Amino acid sequence: MSRLTPETPTPLRSESPQVVLELTVNNHPGVMSHICGLFARRAFNVEGILCMPIGTGAQSRIWLRVPADHRLEQMLRQLRKLEDVVSVQRHGADHEVFVRLEEFFQA
Amino acid sequence: MRLTGAQIIVQLLERQGITTIAGIPGGANLPLYDALSQSRAIHHVLARHEQGAGFIAQGLARASGKPAVCFATSGPGATNILTAIADAKLDSIPLICITGQVPSALIGTDAFQEVDTYGMSIPVTKHNFLVRSAAELLTVIPEAFRIAASGRPGPVLIDVPKDVQNQVLEFQAWPEPGCPDPAPAFALTDAMSAADLINTAASPILYIGGGVIHAGAAHLVRRLAEKASIPTTMTLMGLGAVPVDHPRAIGMLGMHAARYTNMALEACDLLIAAGVRFDDRATGKVAAFCPKARIVHIDIDASELDKIKTAHVGIVGDVREVLEVLLPMVEEQPRTAWLAYIEELKVLYPLQTPGADAPCTPYGLVLQAASLLDDDAIITTDVGQHQMWAAQVYPLRHPRQWLTSGGLGTMGFGLPAAIGAALAYPTRTVVCFSGDGSLLMNIQELVTAVEEDVNVKIILMNNNSLGLVHQQQDLFYGGRLFASDFQARVDFGSIARGFGMAVYDLATAPDPHATLARALSTPGPCLIHAPIDTQEKVYPMVPPGAANKDMIGGEGRPLSWAPSADAVAGRVYVTAHA
């Protein structure tokens, strides 16, 4: 049994296990709003986000690093419902896309 | 062809088969209105507040099952209509809202009547568009209809800047009208697993909701209930799917259910949930909902499965398609002991309806109105006590006969939704049960009803208070009534007459029943004023956050005969028979 509303607020920098999500989306100005809003209105913190157009530019790839808590499965189902989301793939937290970027994100 | 964006929109709507649009014009959608004025196929209904326009379109959509369209201008027009859109989202109603926007070049400059309609509508729509050229309209409009009606229906907003409405486009051919996608395929093995659970269950219950009505699956639910002898409960949104007087119907569940209904759920060993989302008003405290039951959950929206309760068998699919496959696999069974237990509960813990025979009590009013109407009547409600009283006792017998704001619970829904339903079915009588608090929230639509001469009868239960707030303050806040009892009294008769509407006042009528009969049988819109006691409460009630078994009120009189030992001991069926 899972509820969407968290019992306690999610900390800014999550200590919980994380996952990396790979999204293929239609490329237009509203897409990031749709995706970020989906997480934000559930108080689900997005730890990392990368987005670039792919191929002809009609589609974009979005990489997200998010906490792997009990709400994740529901988030994936909600993501798949968005009209502009073409596919959603789930990877482990150690996926190299964020690891290789770490040198750009030193405090 | 050489047409403006506005003309393209109107002609695409005509090609979708739209014949009625509710809306209000303003600066940013004037080109659209100019194009609409040239349409011979579309009747425009001028609402007096954009929220009214949104709910008129909802009434059209809920009564007919087809997507309906509303128009609003930019800025306040768009913000006003958002409530009706959010309401459509929560109740899964196919709605297309087309808003005017300031010219593209002015977007982002805080121009006059500019708001970020696109941004604001994201969380309350199924999908939304900001159109950037007239050419895009040729794909966006059919797409909007496809999205609104596919899978789990919902509202789609299309924001169209004024310059796009004016832009002239040369094009060769019209696109095909947007139609719903086929429903997702489901595995036969899942249907077989569900059938196994049903066939081996001793005490199953069908729990059905709005999804059954959207899917046109009510007749199949009835067949399943009859074939396998399964008691069937309905959510607020599911009322009408199975006739209240069907032998397997056990009424609405949840916060204001009859006691026996919630007790039956307590005892079931299998819950067959179809087109429902385990809303908190239906389940009460989730951990205590159907504690002994395994769950079969059928829904077209994958994100509803396992959201609140984990299903033992979950099937993502159209309820009608799933039931068509499932029905032949389900064994005919009498379930004599289980049905006898349900009958016993029904006798011991029925819904108490004090005043049902009196003309000016809440139950009396609803039942009298029902006795004067036939099954063809469409019933809409506002939100509050009157809504629950009507839900409890109105003899609903058909899908789409009952239009109510379930998920969002929007006061002000009833009157404009009734206008929409009456526009969809001009030969039928539409009755709107309302309260004084709710009616005031969209009272300006009285004039829309008069202007359209719709056959809408508003039965106003006037207790001069926000009844359900009053009730909760009375019960759960130490009787400290605050901001729920109105100080000034509104003369609703004068108000309605001021809008040009006929008024019948049951308070002063020498024979209220005869007056009600005359009001309901006279064609055209009218207001029927019925004062009721402020102290009247909706019982029984599950206190917010409590388990459904912990209902208060509505116990009824002590029994004059001895019930079975099991029932007295509060022992439930499964423990007694396991």
Contact B123 A80 (CB under 8 A): no
User: Is the Cβ pair B303, A77 closer than 8 Å?
Assistant: yes
The widest CA-to-CA distance across chain B, in whole angstroms, is: 82
Retrieve residue B356's tokens: 């049902």
Residues of B in contact with A83 (CB under 8 A): 126-127, 147
Mean pLDDT over B253-259 rounds to 96
CB B127 within 8 A of CB A83: yes
CA distance B466 to B110: 38
Percentage of residues in chain B with pLDDT exceeding 70?
Answer: 96
Q: Which of B130, B303, B307 sits opposite A30 (nearest CB)?
A: B130
Rounded mean pLDDT, B108-136:
98
Distance from CA of A107 to the nearest CA of B (A): 32
Whether the upstream peptide bond of residue A29 has omega within 30° of 0, thus cis, is: no
Specify the pLDDT at position B568: 39
CATH of domain B188-348: 3.40.50.1220
Q: Chain B residue with minimal CA distance to A3?
A: B308
pLDDT of the residue at A106: 83
Q: What is the pLDDT of residue B570?
A: 42
Mutate to test the interface with B, among A5, A81, A85 (most CBs of B within 10 A): A81
Across-strand partners of B206?
B232, B272
Asked which of A6-10, B166-170, B402-406 is least confident by mean pLDDT, the reply is A6-10
Angle subtended by helix axes B445-452 and B50-64, to nearest 10: 50
| Inter-chain touch A81–B306, beta carbons under 8 Å | no
Residues of chain B with Cβ-Cβ distance to A3 below 8 Å are 286, 308
Chains A, B: CB contacts under 8 A, how many?
39
Q: Which pLDDT score, from 0 to 100, does residue B406 have?
A: 97
Write the residue in B122, B147, B286 that is nearest to A34 by C-beta: B122
Query: Which residues from A are below 8 Å from B309, CB to CB?
Result: 1
Q: What is residue B360's predicted lDDT score, i.e. its pLDDT?
A: 85
Domains and CATH numbers, chain A: 16-62 (3.30.70.260)
Closest residue in B to A4 (Cα) is: B307
Asked if the Cβ–Cβ distance from B302 to A77 is below 8 Å, we say yes
What does pLDDT average to over chain B? 95
Instruction: Write down the pLDDT at residue A6.
Output: 47
**Quick one: pLDDT band at residue B375, thresholds 50, 70, 90?**
very high
Q: What is the mean pLDDT of residues B476-494?
A: 96
Tokens linked to A100? 């290789």
Chain B residue with Cα closest to A76: B303
CB B314 within 8 A of CB B187: no
Mean pLDDT of the B324-339 span: 98
* pLDDT at position A99: 87
Q: Which pLDDT band holds residue B367 (cuts at 50, 70, 90)?
A: very high
List, in sequence order, the alpha helices (H) in B426-530.
Answer: 436-441, 445-452, 467-476, 492-498, 512-521
**Torsion, Cα of B406, B418, B250, B283 (10° steps):** 0
Contacts of A81 in chain B (CB under 8 A): 301-303
Calculate mean pLDDT across residues B181-197.
97
Q: Quote the CA–CA distance of B396 and B398 in Å, as a whole number.
A: 6
What pLDDT is recorded for position B359? 79
Burial class (CB in 10 A: 0-12, 13-18, 19+), B208: buried
Q: Which residue of A has its CA nearest to B312?
A: A1
pLDDT tens string B7-53:
999 999 999 999 999 999 999 999 999 999 999 999 999 999 999 99
Tell me what the mean pLDDT of segment B83-105 comes to.
Answer: 98
Q: CB A30 to CB B118 under 8 A?
A: yes
Cβ–Cβ below 8 Å for A29 and B130: yes
B122, B128, B307: residue with CB nearest A74: B307
CATH number of the B362-531 domain: 3.40.50.970
| pLDDT(A28) > 80 | yes
Domain-by-domain residue ranges, chain B?
2-170, 188-348, 362-531
Which fold would CATH assign to domain B2-170?
Answer: Rossmann fold (3.40.50)
Contact check, Cβ <8 Å, B130/A33:
no
Interface test with A, best of B101, B107, B122 (most A CBs within 10 A): B122
For residue range A34-51, list pLDDT tens digits in order.
999 999 999 999 999 999
Residue A15: the pLDDT is 65
Distance from CA of B187 to the nearest CA of A (A): 19
**pLDDT for B231:** 98
Which residue from B442, B395, B400 is spatially nearest to B424, judged by alpha carbons?
B400
pLDDT of A1 above 60: no
Task: Closest CB to B303: pick one of A3, A34, A74.
Answer: A74
Contact B57, B84 (CB under 8 A): yes
The model's confidence at residue B572, banded by pLDDT at 50, 70 and 90, is very low
Residue B514 has pLDDT above 90, yes or no: yes
- By CA distance, what is B144's nearest residue in A? A83
Look at residue B554 in the predicted model and tell me its pLDDT: 86
- Inter-residue contact B327 to B224 (CB < 8 Å): yes
